[in-house]
Chain A
Amino acid sequence: MSISGIMQLRQNFFIIILFFGMVLSGVIFLNNIQNSCKQQKIEQVVIKPKWKQKTFGLRSLPGLLYNQASVLVGSRTDVASVTPWSAPIIWEGTFDPILIDSIYKQHNLTIATTVFALGKYTRFVKDFLESAEQHYFVGFRVHYYLFTDQPESIPEVKIGEKRNLTVLKVQSLKRWQDISMSRMEKLEKLIENELANKADYIFCLDIDTKFYGRWGVESLGRLVGVIHPWFFDAPRDRFTYERRPESQAYIPAGEGDFYYAGAAFGGLLEDVHQLTKTCREKLLIDAANSIEAVWQEESHLNKYFLLNKPSKLLSPEYMWRDINEKADQIKVIRFSNVAKNYAEVRPNP
């Protein structure tokens, strides 16, 4: 090889080495940026579970016909149809079912619905499910989640198209108060693990109940509470809130909007997750302080709703005393407790 040939080669070598040197430093540089960026991302607060996207407006179909509502005449003059924070209160006559069904049908919704049937309470499942199939979100997609300690005792119930039932086995518990309170944690976990991407709304209902009238999309909202059937015309100082300051559920006299029923609440997955998580945490703190709120998780629910106002309230039509009981303002009984012998059906007094 000639000398100039060797020089050429050496030059080439240098060029190559220089080039690789640049590449190397470039790669190191990039990696640094990458790392600091990732660092930022990780430090960055909270990336929450991916909730199913809520992008609905209230789209109405062109050409849909229904009566005009007056601006000056409320449809119900014997009840309040809105709260002081402008959340609607749903009573018969305050909504147009044709209009709202048409609005919500466009959204392909899934409504998760949870109930707990432990011990002798499994006897209520059949009526609950059969009546729900008749009245509850008819025509919409509903997924029931039934928690029970005796899956084999669950009867076959014919469930409509687009609706299904998942039975989840849980441990038996000895005290009915514990059964009641443990629901919060089960719900929190269910939402986290199962529902986050699958349902749009969730309702959590008591099982010892039955549907007698329409329960539909008028009940949907971000955070929904039901006014307790025994306290809707009581002054707030008669509400059976937890009154001991030692409990996390404590609400002092002079405070409180409504007394909400623990037997029915619901809303968006995200909001109900926050509710169940908070209640579960507060129940735990109380337990650690050896205190049990007067109405168990219902007391904690009421505390939660005091500090986190529901965006919609359902009247006691949606959680009534008994099908045979009447009250002037209750024009339709939609969902009600069923008569039972508490001494016989509960595992403990």
Chain B
Amino acid sequence: MTLLRQNFIIILVFFGMVLSGLIYLNHNQCRCNQKMKEQGIINGGTDETIHPRKSRCNQQITEQGITNLEWKQNTFGLRSSPGLLYNQQSALVGSRTDVASVTSWSAPIIWEGTFDSTLIDSIYKQQNLTIATTAFALGKYVRFVKDFLESAEQHYFVGFRVHYYLFTDQPELVPEVKMGENRSLTVLKVQSLKRWQDISMSRMEKLEKLIESELASEANYIFCLDIDTKFYGRWGVESLGRLVGVIHPWLYDTSRDKFTYERSPKSQAYIPAGEGDYYYAGGAFGGSLEDVYHLTKTCREQMSIDAANSIEAVWQEESHLNKYFLLNKPSKLLSPEYMWRDINASAAQIKIVRFTNVPKNYAEIRPNP
């Protein structure tokens, strides 16, 4: 073969590669645009077509960064249906005079009486929301799943789309529970762990990964709940917000220096005396996907640092959660009605128990003391 022919063939092959490269790239672009379309960058009403967004999608693909997750758009206002009737609320008389209904940074604190359920259900029904809800049932804790799910189907975001994500090391033991329309359950298998403290703490990383890989563009809000609990009253859209914490049922009437924060400066969860707003329960927190992702990621990182320094915070990830909420104020707080001590325990300010711990024999049920 002459040199010329060889050259020809080389050039041919080269162009062939370039061509297939181009086709591949373009295919990606198109898929990307497809994705953008599916994301629905939809405005609530303006019909202006200005400057199509240029290649943000491509940027994402090339940058390969976790920071570039595409979050499902939360572009809602609080639209109310015309003609909806409800009582007028006075500007001068708070609906609850025995509790604080707002924090010092103006985040509302949700108690019975401080919100109108007819009104807010009507507002949020218009938004076609999906609420992801996570729980972990490892070892003997799988026994709590049935009551948790059945009572949730009765009280938790009734009438809204809920997707439960149940992490367990024994998927075969998860009972069949009848789910309402628009509600689904995904069971995710995880490894067993020997210490209950490790089970508790590992949740942060699992949540972080779940949000990253599954939820980012599928759910609008997420709540992360303990499984050894049960619903007894309404838990609805009044609980939705960007970043939501629940006031701990044993520590709502306490001065901050009595809060069981981590007090060792060696831990990342350290909060000194004289600081702190509330003591938040580790058994329930939530918010928008993006904000909860940031929370779980940060807690996971801080726990890693602690582990590397051979220190475990006094209340495990709850200590880290409290540190996080001190530095990243929740945009909404739920009263202890949303995470109570026990269905049989009462307190003057708790007019309704919505979600509570169920009694159990810790010695019997935990894998270790």
Q: Which of B18-26, B142-150, B182-190 contacts A (4 or more CB under 8 A)?
A: B18-26
CB neighbours (8 Å) of B10 from chain A are: none
A255 lies within 8 A of B85 (CB): yes
Q: Does A143 contact B (CB under 8 A)?
A: no
B88 lies within 8 A of A79 (CB): no
Knowing that A40-B34, A86-B110, A308-B80 are A-B contacts, what are 7 other residue pairs whose CB atoms are under 8 Å apart, sorted by A's residue number? A46-B49, A49-B46, A58-B331, A80-B94, A86-B332, A87-B108, A88-B108
CB neighbours (8 Å) of B99 from chain A are: 71-72, 74
B106 lies within 8 A of A37 (CB): no
CB neighbours (8 Å) of B108 from chain A are: 82, 86-88
CB neighbours (8 Å) of B345 from chain A are: none
B92 lies within 8 A of A274 (CB): no
CB neighbours (8 Å) of A271 from chain B are: 77
Interface residues on A, range: 35 or more
**A29 with B23, Cβ < 8 A, contacts A16-B8, A68-B277, A71-B109 known:** yes
A60 lies within 8 A of B328 (CB): yes
5 tightest Cβ-Cβ pairs between the two chains A and B = A84-B116, A96-B104, A58-B329, A309-B78, A48-B43
A94 to B41, CA, bound (A): 37
* Chain A residues touching B, majority SS: loop
Q: Does B89 contact A (CB under 8 A)?
A: yes
Interface residue ranges, A against B (CB under 8 Å): 8, 12, 15-16, 19, 22-23, 26, 29-30, 33-34, 36-37, 40-42, 44-50, 57-60, 62-66, 68-90, 94-96, 99-100, 103, 218, 222-223, 227, 232-233, 235-236, 254-258, 271, 273-274, 277, 306-312, 315, 329
CB nearest to A31 among chain B residues = B26
Smallest beta-carbon distance B296→chain A, Å: 14
Smallest beta-carbon distance B349→chain A, Å: 6
Q: A90 contacts which of B34, B106, B278 (Cβ < 8 Å)?
A: B106
Q: Does B29 contact A (CB under 8 A)?
A: yes
B95 lies within 8 A of A30 (CB): no
CB neighbours (8 Å) of A59 from chain B are: 327-329
CB nearest to B1 among chain A residues = A8
Smallest beta-carbon distance A106→chain B, Å: 11
CB neighbours (8 Å) of B51 from chain A are: 47, 50
Task: Please list 22 pairs of residues, one from A and one from B, whose beta carbons are closer than 8 Å in the complex, sorted by A's number.
Answer: A23-B19, A30-B23, A30-B26, A40-B34, A46-B42, A46-B49, A64-B275, A71-B335, A79-B93, A80-B91, A82-B94, A82-B102, A84-B115, A86-B115, A100-B105, A223-B78, A232-B92, A233-B90, A235-B88, A274-B45, A308-B77, A308-B78
Q: B33 contacts which of A15, A41, A72 (Cβ < 8 Å)?
A: A41
A36 to B34, CA, bound (A): 11
Most buried by B among A64, A83, A85: A85
CB neighbours (8 Å) of B369 from chain A are: none
CB neighbours (8 Å) of A58 from chain B are: 105, 107, 243, 328-331
Q: Does B50 contact A (CB under 8 A)?
A: yes
A12 to B1, CA, bound (A): 12
Smallest beta-carbon distance B80→chain A, Å: 5
Q: Does B360 contact A (CB under 8 A)?
A: no
CB nearest to A59 among chain B residues = B328
Q: Does B44 contact A (CB under 8 A)?
A: yes
B105 lies within 8 A of A8 (CB): no
**A80 with B42, Cβ < 8 A, contacts A44-B37, A72-B349, A255-B83 known:** no
Q: B106 contacts which of A12, A72, A88, A273 (Cβ < 8 Å)?
A: A88
Q: Does B98 contact A (CB under 8 A)?
A: yes
